[in-house]
């Protein structure tokens, strides 16, 4: 065997390939990450019980839970305090819509556009005349532009169309904005009276500038109407009449109490008012469903013909009461009111028919 063959047969010592080296490094990294993760989990487990048992100091509670409230008395009397008052509650965001001025500007722009429209018609009919020799201008925009740039003949129709385009864009934009402004809701009597009372008691503006609040028909509110806005207002007025520490504790949170120190100022939580209103409406609906059923059951158990007519009378009375409750306590639309009343009446009719069938004793044939 030659030396060459010996070299070929002899196996070289094992050398690590790049793939093996990368695998080893990944394995070591995964081991370190696993150890670090287990250590961090152990630290979190040891920290959580300590954090739960530790009591927070007053400073820490203030840093963690404290909030900044814009109170009215800290603002100088004038536009600053008026702005703070109107921003303190959505129902106080009342501003003038200036509907008259919008109408005047729209009418003026409408008149300007109408004049330009008449001028355009005059140019069109003038070019349409056979004797003018410019009928081709009505069929070719390029010819019209070329004549407008000519020396001997100068046409103002392209310029007139440019003016019309500019005026129409401005007019359409203002018209759309006026439509959006008309969609704003009018403030309720309660909200308007609250803002008017603030103007009267605090006099934040001079008399000439405070006249804006007297334009009641032109005042709009930024507050979106709630489903039970009318009934909510009744509840808020009732709470104001029975105002005491217990009422403020239930319907006012700490942030609302800090908004003002005025004893005549009342801030109630809208969410808590809506919860109370929903509870009251639920009770009314429950009563309107249970009472007629119990009354008709008592009457139909008698089994007489007059009892059935009495049950129908109860059905009519409670259906009217249900419709009145729907219209007074909610802001249901007409078709919703009709559908709810019909469904309520159908439920009571089903009860009457079932009770009559139960009261009848079947006679077996002989």
- Stretch among 5-14, 72-81, 239-248, 298-307 having the lowest mean pLDDT: 5-14
Q: Is the pLDDT of residue 28 over 70?
A: no
**Could you give the CA distance from residue 91 to residue 232 in angstroms, rounded to a whole number?**
12
Q: Which helix (H) or strand (E) holds 253?
A: none
In a domain, residue 287? The reply is yes
In a domain, residue 159? The reply is yes
**Could you give the CA distance from residue 187 to residue 90 in angstroms, rounded to a whole number?**
11
pLDDT at position 172: 95
Q: Note the pLDDT tens digit of each residue in 238-278.
A: 888 888 888 888 888 778 878 887 777 778 887 888 888 88
Mean pLDDT of 192-206: 91
**Alpha-carbon distance values, 366 to 177, 360, 363 (Å):** 83, 19, 9
State which of 17-21, 116-120, 250-254 shows the largest mean pLDDT: 116-120
Domain count, the chain: 2
In a domain, residue 37? The reply is no
Q: Is the pLDDT of residue 329 over 70?
A: yes
Q: Note the pLDDT tens digit of each residue in 143-159.
A: 666 666 665 555 577 77
In a domain, residue 75? The reply is no
In a domain, residue 60? The reply is no
Mean pLDDT of 2-21: 45
Quote the domain boundaries for residue 329.
279-359
Confidence band for 79, pLDDT divided at 50, 70 and 90: very high
Residue bearing the bigger pLDDT, 231 or 25 = 231
- Residue 70 makes CB contacts below 8 A (sequence gap 6+) with 84, 87, 88, 259
Q: Which of 144, 165, 182 is the last residue of a domain?
A: 182
In a domain, residue 253? The reply is no
3-state secondary structure of 109: helix
**Could you give the CA distance from residue 104 to residue 95 in angstroms, rounded to a whole number?**
19
Q: Is the pLDDT of residue 283 over 80?
A: yes
In a domain, residue 299? The reply is yes
Confidence band for 42, pLDDT divided at 50, 70 and 90: very low
Confidence band for 358, pLDDT divided at 50, 70 and 90: low
Q: Which of 165, 182, 199 is the last residue of a domain?
A: 182
pLDDT at position 102: 93
Q: Is the pLDDT of residue 7 over 60?
A: no
Q: Is the pLDDT of residue 227 over 80?
A: no
In a domain, residue 285? The reply is yes
Mean of the per-residue pLDDT values of the chain: 77
Q: Which of 182, 214, 249 is the last residue of a domain?
A: 182
Mean pLDDT of 285-290: 90
């Amino acid at each position: 065997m030659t030396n060459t063959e010996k070299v070929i047969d002899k196996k070289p010592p094992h050398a690590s390939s790049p793939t093996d080296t990368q695998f080893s490094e990944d394995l070591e990294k995964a081991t370190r990450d696993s150890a670090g993760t287990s250590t961090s989990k152990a630290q979190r487990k040891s920290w959580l019980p300590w954090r739960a048992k530790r009591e927070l100091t007053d400073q820490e509670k203030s840093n963690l839970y404290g909030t900044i409230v814009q109170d009215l008395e800290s603002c100088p009397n004038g536009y600053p305090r008026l702005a703070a008052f109107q921003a303190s509650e959505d129902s106080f965001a009342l501003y003038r819509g200036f509907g008259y001025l919008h109408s005047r500007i729209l009418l003026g722009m409408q008149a300007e556009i109408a004049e330009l429209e008449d001028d355009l018609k005059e140019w069109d009919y003038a070019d349409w005349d056979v004797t003018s020799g410019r009928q081709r201008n009505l069929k070719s925009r390029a010819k019209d532009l070329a004549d407008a740039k000519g020396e001997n003949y100068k046409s103002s129709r392209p310029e007139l169309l440019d003016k019309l385009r500019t005026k129409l864009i401005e007019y359409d934009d203002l018209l759309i904005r006026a439509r959006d402004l008309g969609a704003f809701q009018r403030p309720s009597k309660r909200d308007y009276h609250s803002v008017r009372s603030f103007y009267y008691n605090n006099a934040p503006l001079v008399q000439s500038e405070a006249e804006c609040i007297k334009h009641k028909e032109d005042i709009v509110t930024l507050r979106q109407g709630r489903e039970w806005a009318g009934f909510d207002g009744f509840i808020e007025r009732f709470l104001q009449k029975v105002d005491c520490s217990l009422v403020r504790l239930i319907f006012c949170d700490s942030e609302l109490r800090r908004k003002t120190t005025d004893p005549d100022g009342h801030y109630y939580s809208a969410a808590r008012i809506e919860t109370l209103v929903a509870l009251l409406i639920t009770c009314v609906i429950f009563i309107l469903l249970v009472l007629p059923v119990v009354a008709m059951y008592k009457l139909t158990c008698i089994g007489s013909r007059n009892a059935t007519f009495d049950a129908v009378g109860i059905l009519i009375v409670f259906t009217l009461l249900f419709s009145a409750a729907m219209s007074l306590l909610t802001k249901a639309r007409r078709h919703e009111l009709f559908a709810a009343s019909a469904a309520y009446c159908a439920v009571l009719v089903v009860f009457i028919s079932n009770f009559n069938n139960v009261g009848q004793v079947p006679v077996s044939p002989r």
